Chain A
Amino acid sequence: MLMKTSKPLKRIRLLLCATLLSGLAAHQSRADENYFGYTYGAETLPKGGSEIYQWVTVRTGKADGSYKAVDLQTEIEHGFTDHLQGSIYLNAIQHNISGVSDFTSRDQFRFNGLQGSLKYNLRSPYKDGYGLALYAEPGYKRYSGKSGDRQDTFFFETKVITQKNYLEDTLIWATNFSAELEREHNLEEREWETELELTLSTGFSYRIAPRWFIGAEAVAVSAFERADLGKLGEYALFLGPNLHYASKRWWATLTALPQLTGWPENSGAHDLEHFEKLEIRLKVGLNF
């Protein structure tokens, strides 16, 4: 049975769109940009700088049926000092699922919680030889990102971010190691589950012309049941290209990550139960 988008959620959606569009209309200057869709750089906003981002991540492809999920994040970021920045995210999620084994068919759009983050820059890639930053992000989700089932998830993610620049800062290489502890409450089965997700991501981006960068990015994700490193639940490796454009007022980054391999396999060498065949992420940011 297909589920309809509720009127309050339509209003939230319109509000988020209106907020972003009003920011664009104000012709503000460009935000401190992300060169990658998934991997973070070590820089932080200057003190007093603020920015708004919109993330759109489309995930498609299961072993059978038709599956599409769209993750939407609206982020507001502020530099408290030249080395410390904080963010607040509002999330929404859309699922269009039909005929996928073990998934309930649905067509729904839902507000999906919020999170906050702090990022502290320890080393600058421009004057210290390398960039280093620490990142922490607690948050709450109302729906399963995979199935769209109603479930409460509390999570806490930490990252170590490194960045090394080459060729007069025209070639950027960034690597993140992330650990995320999730506590999930399945409202139908009335049980709590704990999961630890470890992610290693790395990417390079090269300035091919003023304002334009192209590169590639790889993301490896492993999830451990009950946060026990001896109980690997699933993993997947993604690799794909990215494109980044920056203007003075705004920037955009587009990354496409097909799954190279995954475990446990249920479709060739891929795990299409816990992950998807392809993720495409578009980030747009502007500062104010």
Chain B
Amino acid sequence: MSRLSTAWLLPPAVLAASTSGYATEYLTVEQAQQALFPGTALTAVPVRLTAEQRQAIAQSSGVRVRASELRAWRTGAGGWFIVDEVLGKHEFITFALGLDLRGAVVGLEILSYRETYGGEVRNGKWRGQFPGKTAANALKLDGDIKNISGATLSCRHITDGVKRLLTTYELVLKTFR
């Protein structure tokens, strides 16, 4: 290979050498718990979904269930705090969902977001569309949940993730003992 074409391989080499971790953690689990249930004591509750439950949740919500372990906590009043992940364009987006004792959304918090574009999903105005939603709502992008142009993939996957967890409440957590 000539000297010239070798020189043009230099930029990619510099790029490769410049890689480093880029995880952006916005909230810890404890901070998210306090944001959604301020001043409330939460108790970790191990929830393991059976294959049948995963299938039922996927069929009902239309969203694939990736994990069988649910990272869940319970409030004394019967509410739930769940930490979950959805696919971003390249990495996972970690979020927390608070549910009241009726299974309605109390709030949504983004714990970590690692993508270049689409960080607008952290904005309170967008997340503010979710409180009050239950499994009975459609939770459809450009339907009852407005999209953010330029952040469509993140909006879609987070909305789907919330829909999956609301269905999980309806089919599993609602009667969980």
Contacts and interface: CB of A to CB of B under 8 A. Distances in A.
A85 B71 CA distance: 41
B15 interface: yes
A13 B4 contact: yes
A231 interface: no
Given A32-B117, A210-B90, A247-B22, A127 B152 contact: yes
A211 B91 contact: yes
A54 interface: yes
Interface string B23-37: 000000000000000
A20 B11 contact: yes
Contacts of A21: 10-11, 14
B87 A70 contact: no
A169 to B, nearest CB: 6
A249 B18 contact: yes
Contact of A126 (B7, B12, B116, B152): B152
Interface residues of B, number: 36
B149 interface: yes
Interface in B88-106: 89-92
Contact of B5 (A32, A94, A207, A246): A94
Contacts of B92: 210
Contacts of A107: 2
A83 B5 CA distance: 35
Interface of A: 5, 13, 17, 20-21, 24-25, 27, 29-32, 46-47, 49, 54, 56, 58, 68, 70, 72, 79, 82-83, 94, 96, 107, 109, 124, 126-127, 167-170, 207, 210-211, 246-250, 252, 282, 284, 286-287
A174 B117 CA distance: 21
Contacts of B157: 168-169
27 contacts: A5-B4, A13-B4, A17-B7, A25-B14, A31-B116, A32-B116, A46-B117, A46-B150, A47-B150, A54-B11, A70-B5, A126-B152, A127-B147, A127-B155, A168-B64, A169-B89, A169-B157, A210-B92, A247-B19, A248-B90, A248-B114, A249-B18, A249-B22, A252-B12, A284-B11, A284-B12, A284-B15
Nearest to A79: B150
B18 to A, nearest CB: 6
Contacts of B170: none
A47 B120 CA distance: 13
Contacts of A250: 15, 18
Nearest to A165: B153
Contacts of B11: 17, 20-21, 24, 54, 284
B8 interface: yes
Contacts of B141: 127
B87 A46 contact: no
A66 B148 CA distance: 53
Nearest to B153: A126
Given A46-B150, A126-B156, A282-B12, A287 B4 contact: no
A49 B118 CA distance: 12
A284 B8 CA distance: 11
A170 B103 CA distance: 30
Given A17-B10, A24-B11, 12 more contacts: A5-B4, A13-B4, A17-B8, A46-B149, A46-B150, A54-B11, A56-B5, A168-B87, A170-B87, A246-B90, A282-B12, A284-B11
B142 interface: yes
B9 interface: yes
A169 B153 contact: yes
A8 to B, nearest CB: 15
A29 B114 CA distance: 11
A110 to B, nearest CB: 11
B149 to A, nearest CB: 4
Contacts of B150: 46-47, 49, 79, 82
Among B89, B141, B156, B157, the most chain A Cβ lie within 10 Å of the Cβ of: B89
B58 to A, nearest CB: 12
Contact of A58 (B5, B64, B153): B5
